[in-house]
Structure 1
Amino acid sequence: MKKLLYICIIIFICGACGNDRENDIIKRIRTWENRTILFPKNTVFTKGGIDTVDWDFSSSYKIMTYVDSSGCLSCKLQLLEWKKLIKSTQKQFPDSVRFLFIFSPSQRTALLHELNIAQFDYPICIDENNLIEKLNNFPVDAKFQTFLLDKDNKVIAIGNPIHNPKIKELYLRIIQGGQISEEKESKQIMTEVGMDATSVSLGSFDWHKEQKATFTLKNTGGNPLVIQDVTTSCGCTTVSYSKEPTHPGKEITLEVVYKAEHPEHFSKTVTVHCNTASSPIRLSLSGDAK
């Protein structure tokens, strides 16, 4: 079961990424097999980063995510998506799963601002001294900074369910006691896809003005094309598209909307998960908001 979980995680995260990349991922995952995540005895949890709350570690499973101070904070947090996952998971497994949010921001005020915007009132740990990371030495790659833990805080699986729907599916299957099988995954009906472009530059524009771009996917295979999920690297980027299957020879358009939060040069990523061997498909949007 353990070995098969590794195989599934590699496929889900990486897709058709090549043997060298897969071998690297296997190494990373194996170093975390059955490792216990450690917490300082004085770990403090708060709501909104202000009011201290009691946090009970006793549950069958925990989904723990660590966010460090590097890069775009809004992009890495994805708090609105976490709220959706928490709500659906608690409804499905009301007493089995808890969520652990460990934030180590370089600027506490920036984190509090993001929490306020998202109205995120779930318990979090703001680890300003980065004590938890020092105890555990988490991977540098953000893709591997989220873990599914058992009741003893041992790592069962790795990967961010917010950024990858296959990881989410994997976590939920484990939690509900389901078995993962390569045979079941291989039964998915596949097709092929062609694209007019995978990157769009918006050039320079007034940062107050919302910008739009479109990406077109053409079903070049023999079966319906189904977009299973679309994720973005930042909350300032949204995507709309038809949820209906796209028949062979037809096209589907993804409309991407970017709303700058401040003047900046930006490069955002849109990740499309669909029933093709090339999935996930990564699209990029860049420009200068002035």
Structure 2
Amino acid sequence: MTIKIYRLIPILLLVMTSCSGSDKEQQDIVAEWTGKEIVIPGELGFQVGNIPVDYDFDAADFKIVTYVDSAGCTNCRMKLKDWDKVIDGFKSSPDVDVSFLMIVDSDKREEIERLVKDNDFHHPVSIDSAGLFRKANPLPSKPEHQTFLLDADNKVIALGNPVQNPKIRELYAQLIFDSQDHKFPDETSSLCKNAVRSLGVVNRGDTITRLFRLNNNTESDLTLQEVTPSCHCVSAKADWDVLKSGEYADIEISYVADTIPQQFHRYADVWFKERPNPQRLVLHGFVK
């Protein structure tokens, strides 16, 4: 991992320099922050919407943490709908555990919670009214440098905002998935436009069902071979056998929430006789 990271540093420098600032400034920022530990204060609380959650942020293989201060238009700075798409893209693979956290430095809790609700954002947010994160981590001054990709030990391996810069998003994907060929679900030949769904916070024992629409934009009919759930708590229902060229069909995926409060990531693979790889349909969120 270390060798790969240092090989990608020149790419990170090129990407960041193309956005703003001088070469020297960007080089200094990368040199200062690469390998530096980001401290997540223990006093910070986590919530999805307005519901507090038990969030083990440190347990993941990789973490993305983005800091938003309250200066100017908070809604513009948060970019919740854009982040929703990017987060779901990184959640598309169950083989790598990626945690996300948005830290909002503001004492206007009701306003932040309203923005989260209005944007239908179902990912962890910490409303840091005491400025604990900023005090623990003297951050770069520019907002575009206040988003970090961390390793399992909370050490910075890249910085930059993947929402604002597609090149940063590609770099994050290379580091996380150890591949230059990883594509986000909406950038591939996926049969499903919204193959990753965040359920937010669900209650223990609840059964949650979502419909996924598959569109066959190929020139050949596709024959449903099998649907394989990731575990016994996931089931699938399809009332069709063939997805004809140019047509669409729905698959119903149900998840029975685990009895243990935790973050969850479940999926079902839809196999077709004519395709070597399945279409993966993902549900993720928190059990409370």
> Could you tell me the TM-score, scaled by structure 2's length?
0.57
Secondary structure in structure 1 of the residue aligned to 2:126: strand
Residue by residue over 1:185-207, the C-alpha shift from the partner in whole angstroms, topping out at 9 and shown as x without a partner, is: xxxxxxxxxxxxxxxxxxxxxxx
Look up the match of 1:174: 175
Paired AA for residue 54 in structure 1:
D
Look up the match of 1:126: 127
Secondary structure in structure 1 of the residue aligned to 2:42: coil
Paired AA for residue 53 in structure 1:
V
Q: Aligned pair in 2 of structure 1 residues 115, 94: CA closer, same or farther (>3 Å)?
A: farther
Residue by residue over 1:157-199, the C-alpha shift from the partner in whole angstroms, topping out at 9 and shown as x without a partner, is: 000000000000000000111379xxxxxxxxxxxxxxxxxxx
Secondary structure in structure 2 of the residue aligned to 1:39: coil
The unaligned stretches of length 5 or more in structure 1 are 181-290
Matched residue count: 177
Q: Aligned pair in 2 of structure 1 residues 162, 47: CA closer, same or farther (>3 Å)?
A: same
> Could you tell me the TM-score, scaled by structure 1's length?
0.57
The one of 6, 9, 13 aligned to 1:10:
13
Aligned-pair identity (%): 34
Secondary structure in structure 1 of the residue aligned to 2:91: helix
Look up the match of 2:164: 163
Matches within 5 A, 1:77-226: 77-93=78-94, 95-178=96-179
Look up the match of 2:184: none
Look up the match of 1:34: 35
- Superposed displacement of residue 112, structure 1: 1.8
The unaligned stretches of length 5 or more in structure 2 are 182-288
- Superposed displacement of residue 2, structure 1: 4.4
Secondary structure in structure 2 of the residue aligned to 1:38: coil
- Superposed displacement of residue 35, structure 1: 0.7
Structure 1 stretches of 4+ with a deviation exceeding 3 A read 1-4
Give, in whole Å, the separation in 2 of the partners of 1:122 and 1:146.
16
Paired AA for residue 159 in structure 2:
I
Give, in whole Å, the separation in 1 of the partners of 2:81 and 2:98.
19
Look up the match of 2:55: 55
Q: Aligned pair in 2 of structure 1 residues 10, 104: CA closer, same or farther (>3 Å)?
A: same
- Superposed displacement of residue 41, structure 1: 2.0
Give, in whole Å, the separation in 2 of the partners of 1:69 and 1:143.
15
